[in-house]
């Protein structure tokens, strides 16, 4: 009998998040599932790891299985590290992170706990995918995601991914019948124009709320932002080698050793 693939499931919205619960159910139809997810929301944590305090992982039951679930006190990246080193009894065949409540397209991939969990698995040589739905509401409807998530996961298991490559998948917030298909994209050049809302607490001490507006600076029709605006599921292959290879020859011309 062929062994089912072992799928590690995690996220950054917390172990009770509806997006994660949806992803777990979908993965149960494909393989053996182990969930290691934060015990509280960790959005925007990026690739933070816990080094100055203790970590806890408690096995829990939120839904009927057959998945095994662990609630972790750490960050999304911590969850993956702990899963690989301490919890799993064999190396996972795939790690999936999400389904995130909100976009992780374009520059958002840098800040995303969802994608950092997937990247952490990728660093370990495990094929990994992060999934996001462009709806920040806790009550988001994930029905339109299901067929696309399942298709992409099955293809990834069949075809594999190169070492150092992780898939960033974003799904537009429209009904499934309005989604035109899947588009392979590059990351759009965009950023946040940020501001801080300065206020005072009852003791007269200043505090701040971060706010901002997302600005797409990229007019290309091959980007994730274009795909999502035009009701396509965007799939961007990303890498965690941050070397600017194209600039190395120019940098050598600086003759820094002279």
CATH architecture of 6-188+220-242: 3-Layer(aba) Sandwich (3.40)
Choose the weakest-confidence range: 144-148, 161-165, 189-193.
189-193
Share of the chain above pLDDT 90, in %: 87
Which of 180, 174, 147, 168 is CA-nearest to residue 224?
168
CB-based contacts of 150, cutoff 8 Å, min separation 6: 26, 29, 30
The pTM of this model reads 0.93
Give me the sign of the Cα torsion angle 79, 85, 86, 88.
Answer: positive
If you average pLDDT over residues 128-152, what whole number do you get?
97
Q: For the stretch 106-128, what's the b/e string if a residue is b when 16 or more beta carbons lie within 10 angstroms of its beta carbon?
A: bbbbebbbbbbbbbbbbbbebbb
255 sits in the region (left: phi over 0; alpha: psi -120 to 50; else beta) called: left
CA distance 21 to 62: 9
The Cβ-side half-sphere exposure at 57, using a 13 Å CA radius, reads 21
On the question of pLDDT at 1 being above 70, the answer is no
Give me the sign of the Cα torsion angle 157, 161, 164, 167.
Answer: negative
> Are the C-beta atoms of 148 and 182 separated by less than 8 Å?
yes
CA distance 15 to 38: 6
Chain segment 178-227, per-residue pLDDT in tens: 999 999 999 999 888 888 999 999 999 999 988 888 888 888 899 999 99
CA distance 56 to 75: 11
Measured in degrees and rounded to the nearest 5, phi and psi for residue 94 equal -160, 145
Question: Which pLDDT band, with edges at 50, 70 and 90, does 23 fall under?
Answer: very high
If you average pLDDT over residues 128-136, what whole number do you get?
97
> Are the C-beta atoms of 41 and 111 separated by less than 8 Å?
no
Chain segment 39-78, per-residue pLDDT in tens: 998 888 889 999 999 999 999 999 888 999 999 999 999 9
Cα distances from 186 to residues 36, 136, 223, in angstroms, run 30, 23, 5
> Are the C-beta atoms of 37 and 23 separated by less than 8 Å?
no
Coil, strand or helix at 242 = coil
Q: How do the domains of the chain map onto residue ranges?
A: 6-188+220-242
């Amino acid at each position: 009998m062929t062994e089912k693939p072992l799928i590690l499931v995690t996220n950054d919205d917390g172990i009770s998040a509806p997006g994660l619960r949806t992803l777990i159910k979908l993965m149960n139809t494909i393989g053996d599932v182990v969930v290691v997810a934060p015990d509280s929301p960790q959005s925007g944590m990026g690739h933070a790891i816990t080094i100055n305090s203790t970590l806890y992982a408690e096995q829990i039951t939120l839904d009927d299985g057959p998945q095994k679930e662990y609630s972790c006190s750490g960050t999304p990246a911590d969850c993956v590290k702990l899963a690989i080193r301490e919890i799993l009894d064999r190396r996972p065949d795939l790690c999936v992170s999400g389904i995130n409540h909100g976009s992780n397209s374009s520059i958002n991939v840098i800040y995303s706990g969802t994608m950092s969990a997937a990247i952490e698995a990728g660093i370990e040589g495990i094929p990994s995918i992060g999934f996001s739905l462009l709806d920040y509401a806790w009550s988001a409807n994930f029905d339109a995601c299901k067929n696309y998530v399942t298709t992409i996961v099955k293809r990834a298991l069949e075809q594999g991914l190169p070492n150092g490559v992780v898939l960033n998948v974003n799904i537009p917030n429209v009904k499934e019948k309005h989604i035109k298909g899947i588009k392979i994209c590059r990351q759009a050049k965009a950023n946040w124009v940020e501001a801080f809302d300065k206020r005072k607490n009852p003791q007269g001490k200043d505090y701040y709320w971060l706010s901002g507006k997302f600005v797409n600076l990229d007019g290309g029709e091959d980007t994730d932002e274009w795909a999502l605006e035009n009701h396509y599921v965007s799939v961007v292959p990303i890498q965690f080698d941050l070397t600017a290879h194209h600039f190395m020859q120019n940098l050598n011309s600086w003759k820094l050793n002279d």
